[in-house]
Amino acid sequence: MDQLSHVVIAGAGIGGLCAALALTKQGRQVVVCEQAATLSEVGAGLQISPNALKVLRHLGLEDELRPFAFVPEYAAIRDYKTGEYYLKSPLGTSAESRYGAPYWHLHRADLHRVLVEACLQAGVELVLNAAVVSYRENLERQPVSLLLEDGRVFSADLLIGADGIRSKVREQMLGQERPTFMGQVAWRGVIPVSDLTVDVKPDACVWAGPGRHFVSYYLRGGDYVNFVAVEERSDWLSESWREEGNVDELKRAFAGWHPEVSELLQSARSTFLWALNGREPLSTWHQGRVVLLGDACHPMLPFMAQGAAMAIEDGYVLAKCLSRHSLKDALFQYEHLRKPRATKIQQMSKANAGLYHMHGDVLGRMKLTALQVAGRFVPNVIQSKLDTVYGYDVTEV
């Protein structure tokens, strides 16, 4: 299993493209199969923390992305009614000084477009309308083959399943299993600043409230505001995991919140509604010549803003392991390095849901107040909790 010259990747999302770019820079021939007819991303923002930005820097993308970035001044948690700060932790130059890379806000479409262009320039072959059906292994002169819905077949030495939470590759490897609805939905949207009637602080801000929370931050140098509004629900009746949302319903769900939230939403013209799904940790991330990354193996709740970051790290670490070890050893090493970190951040994200939604009523508010007190009287207490996330550097592992 040592020869590795051809790689096929299922999925042209951020994680799949990062893996493709890193592998192509090593001299591998890479084909990326994407089921969509066009290479585009639904408009929404991403928080690119220093751990992810270090990878993008090593992939040679930092300068290309900088014109699209917004640098927030603080990470904040505020009360949904009063606007009181439970947490106000410096980002900006402080984050760059502490972690060796800045904390950026990017539009997902901008990051995706830059990745696509870099992959094409590096020689990656991108195949569209490529819906995955299954894969086959151990064929004569074809170590692994990816079979598409239209009958096309792509053979390689390694198959990477980067095809999301409903991964066909994962399903064949580990069996059919529906993702678990986590009892929450997320409304997402982007609003031009020129349409706003309220000033929005230049922070990565979480507004915490009973059973729901609201996130707002700037994109594209401050020309747009991105919002994510998460609401607890007992079920999800739609067959789709994502659909166009009803803006009026969104506004009603957050009526009576602080004016910076309610007035911001008055300017919203459209929104998408996501079901937040998860999975229990998988028994393995690889089998034979097939390996998973990103949401295909560790879907993240958005309460640490690390979903894209973990996929970016995955792609880089997988490529690094493949450059250092035989194929069999590389896949074991990749899982050994990535699984504990991804699982830990999944757990941190789940715990934050209870904090942001004031679970336990009075007890929930007490936890936020304790966070507030700790931030006032113990310098850097909040930053120290994030050091293991933001300070981690996969380029040096």
Give the pLDDT confidence of 137-186 residue by residue, as tens digits: 976 667 999 999 999 999 999 999 999 999 999 999 999 888 888 889 99
Strands 132-139 and 45-48: what pairing? unpaired
Q: Where does the pLDDT of residue 380 fall: very low under 50, low under 70, confident under 90, or very high at 90 and above?
A: low
How confident is the model at residue 1, as a pLDDT? 43
Alpha-carbon distance of 210 to 190, in angstroms, equals 24
- Catalytic site positions: 217
State the average pLDDT over residues 64-85: 94
Q: In which residue are the tokens 């980067």 written?
A: 162
- Cα 316 to Cα 108, 365, 383, distances in angstroms: 19, 40, 25
What is the per-residue pLDDT across 7-46, written as a single tens digit (0 to 9) for each?
A: 999 999 999 999 999 999 999 999 999 999 887 766 689 9
Q: How confident is the model at residue 248 (pLDDT cuts 50, 70, 90)?
A: very high
> Which amino acid is present at 348?
M
Q: What is the pLDDT of residue 42?
A: 62
CA–CA dist 165, 159 (Å, integer): 17
Listed range (20-29, 131-140, 195-204, 247-256) with the worst mean pLDDT: 131-140
d(CA 218, CA 193): 9
Q: 42-46, 118-122, 380-384: lowest mean pLDDT where? A: 380-384
Residues 39-43: contacts with CB within 8 Å, 24+ apart? 39/12, 39/112, 39/116, 39/126, 39/128, 40/109, 40/112, 41/108, 41/109, 41/112, 42/108, 42/188, 42/242, 42/272, 43/107, 43/108, 43/109, 43/189, 43/190
The identity of residue 196, as a single letter, is L
pLDDT of 2 above 60:
no
Mean pLDDT of 189-213: 94
Check if the beta carbon of residue 9 is closer than 8 Å to that of residue 19.
yes
pLDDT band at 351 (very low <50, low <70, confident <90, very high): confident
pTM: 0.93
- The pLDDT of residue 325 is 96
Query: Average of pLDDT values for 109-123?
Result: 97
| pLDDT band, residue 277 (cuts 50/70/90) | confident
Cα atoms found within 13 Å of the Cα of residue 239, Cβ hemisphere only: 0
Percentage with pLDDT > 90 across the chain: 77
Q: Write the Ramachandran bin of 303: left for phi over 0, alpha for psi from -120 to 50, otherwise beta.
A: alpha
Measured between alpha carbons, how far is 207 from 60 in angstroms, rounded to an integer? 35
pLDDT at 366 over 70: no
